[in-house]
Amino acid sequence: MLDYEISPSEAAALLKQGKARLVDVREPWEFATARVDNSLHMPMGEVPARAHQELDPDEHLVVLCHHGMRSMNVAVWLRNQGFEQAQSVRGGIHAWSAEVDPQVGRY
């Protein structure tokens, strides 16, 4: 079984290879402030209503928030719902900006 967390660089490599889908669970104002290209915006509060309609339980899901707390909660919830390959990006978009793409803004 996969760890519950994945580093930003590991996540970026999977995304580049087309082996994962990035789900951004931050609030709309946060997503408007800074985002990773090609991410699916699904605010944390909307995940229970949208997950089973928009996400594939067999897909590797990489969940992103600001610092990694909300995304961890969502990854755990998703796994409990049968999305066994859900992982949280350790350190969130802040760490992504520091490790993967400095063009992604920090706030």
Active-site amino acid positions? 65
Contact 55, 77 (CB under 8 A): no
% helix / strand / coil in the chain, to the nearest 5?
Answer: 45, 15, 40
Q: How many CB atoms lie within 10 A of CB 44?
A: 17
Token pair 């990854």 in the structure block, residue: 75
Q: Token pair for residue 21? A: 């889908």
